[in-house]
Amino acid sequence: MECKNCELRQRQYYCANCLRNHLRDFRSKTHHFSSGRNEHVARASRAFKSIESGRLLRAEIARVDNNLDQLADGLAKVRRDCESKRDRLRTLRETLAQRRRTLNAARLLPPQSQTLTKESQELAVLSQTISRARSGLVQELVEVFHVVEVGGRPAVGGRPGARGEWTVGGLVLPVPGDVRRYPPDHINAVITHTIHFLGLLTFYLGIKLPFEVSWSCRRFGVGMPWIGAGRGSESWAKWTAKHPLHLTSNPSSTPSSPSSPSSSPSRTPLASLADSETPEQGPAHGQNQSFTTGLAMLLYNVCYLAHSQGVEIPLSQAGDALSNLWAVCCSGELGRRSHSTTPLLLPPTPPSFTLDFAQVLQATAASPARAARIRPGRSAHDAGISRLRSERIVEEEDGWDVVELGGEEGFG
């Protein structure tokens, strides 16, 4: 209904009669549709009742099929488990049968052969192969470093023979008593060759030495050797301080005496046995180190290496390092025992090695009584290494000679 004045649609108003007519029409339509709805519901209910039994049957069939699938999966899993357990049982039975056969065969063997197994035989063959390989390497090493004896004389016509001098790389390595007869550069060079030769020899043979060699690089980048005790519980293990294996020609470290050539301005001062250099490891090793103690450590290493290869070196021959190394290279037991392969050696040094480092040190120094008073782990220079030898220097045609006055026996 639109207003004639404002032309807006307004709410339509009905009279009471119109409302009653509309309500009557609405009720009649509702009754008509409700009766149709009830009829459709009744028909659907009757149809549902007719198919309910079939629907329940199909639902039951689906449930049974689902249960069958689950049972089939479980059965397959059980079969797989049974198969794996059957295979494991078969393997255990075969292993047990093999062990029984091995046990029966071992029972049939003689008692002396029970410990000789196939593995031990193969290990023995391998040890022999390694020993032969080591012998070949050692022979080549001797040829490379040219370790030979020169100047010797065999015994002829009842005349006793004379021992020559041993050289390495063409340089003579003197015994400790003759060190002062050679210049420091010669001693440093020949000891360096000997250290390299000994290091390669122990590497090829797989031997752990009591005293370890270290190198410092303080002089024009050239390494200077130092030596000290490694790990161990024996008496030599107390000598933990690093000692030099090189000499210096510093005049301030040379002891002066009326008969010493260092007092003459026309002579080149001899190399001091007490080196004033300090290794690059720092001041923990002290400012002064002892060349004599370091040389005794090197000789002790050579003696122990000889012992490990079946060569026994007496104390009187311990100072001839190259001769002892030559005996090691010619040993019939060369390369058979080692610290790295079977048969294993005991850690250095075993009780069978009876040579004491203190004895080697006393024999290396000119005065054994004074050398014995040097405390382990302390530099021998502080104990007066320059005064260890009561000596006089006499001039010969060939150079300098050291003459002992105390009468003690040493290597020289």
Q: Which two tokens stand for residue 36?
A: 């149709």
Task: Return the pLDDT at 15.
Answer: 83
CA angle 404, 409, 411 (to 5 degrees): 90
**Residue 212 DSSP SS3:** strand
Residues written for the chain: 412
Kind and range of the H or E run holding 393: strand 391-395
User: Is 204 part of a structural domain of the chain?
Assistant: yes
- CB 392, CB 346: distance < 8 Å: no
User: Is 203 part of a structural domain of the chain?
Assistant: yes
User: Is 122 part of a structural domain of the chain?
Assistant: no
User: Is 219 part of a structural domain of the chain?
Assistant: yes
Q: Which two tokens stand for residue 354?
A: 């009876």
CA distances to 80, 155, 196, 305 from 202, rounded to whole Å, are: 60, 34, 10, 8
- CB 136, CB 128: distance < 8 Å: no
Task: Return the pLDDT at 112.
Answer: 55
Strand ranges (E), 14-170: 148-150, 165-168
Place of tokens 């639902």: 59
Distance in angstroms (rounded) separating the CA atoms of residues 254 and 381: 12
CA 183 to chain centroid, in Å, comes to 39
User: Is 129 part of a structural domain of the chain?
Assistant: no
Q: What is the DSSP string of 213-281?
A: EEEEEEETTEEEEEEEE-S-SSGGGG--S-EESS-B--GGGSPP-TT-GGGSTTSPPPPBSEE----TT
Nearest to 379 by CA among 191, 251, 250, 226: 226
Distance in angstroms (rounded) separating the CA atoms of residues 390 and 367: 8
Task: Return the pLDDT at 267.
Answer: 32
Nearest to 259 by CA among 396, 404, 398, 395: 395
Bridge-based pairing of strands 165-168 and 148-150 is: antiparallel
Strand ranges (E), 119-221: 148-150, 165-168, 171-172, 211-219
Distance in angstroms (rounded) separating the CA atoms of residues 163 and 61: 112
Q: Which two tokens stand for residue 52?
A: 């309910």
Distance in angstroms (rounded) separating the CA atoms of residues 310 and 329: 11
For residue 197, give the CATH number of its domain.
1.10.418
Nearest to 292 by CA among 219, 357, 223: 357
Task: Return the pLDDT at 161.
Answer: 56
User: Is 211 part of a structural domain of the chain?
Assistant: yes
- CB 311, CB 331: distance < 8 Å: yes
- CB 234, CB 210: distance < 8 Å: yes
What residues in the chain have per-residue pLDDT under 70? 1-12, 109-116, 152-162, 217-222, 249-289, 366-412
pTM of structure:
0.55
**Residue 296 DSSP SS3:** helix
Task: Return the pLDDT at 367.
Answer: 42
User: Is 280 part of a structural domain of the chain?
Assistant: no
Q: Please tell me the total count of domains within the chain.
A: 1
Task: Return the pLDDT at 54.
Answer: 83
- CB 212, CB 204: distance < 8 Å: no
User: Is 184 part of a structural domain of the chain?
Assistant: yes
Q: Which residues, in sequence order, are CB contacts of 226 under 8 Å at separation 6+?
A: 213, 214, 215, 216, 242, 243, 244, 245, 279, 281, 285, 289, 294
- CB 388, CB 365: distance < 8 Å: yes
**Which domain does 240 fall in, by range?**
146-150+165-248+285-338+349-365
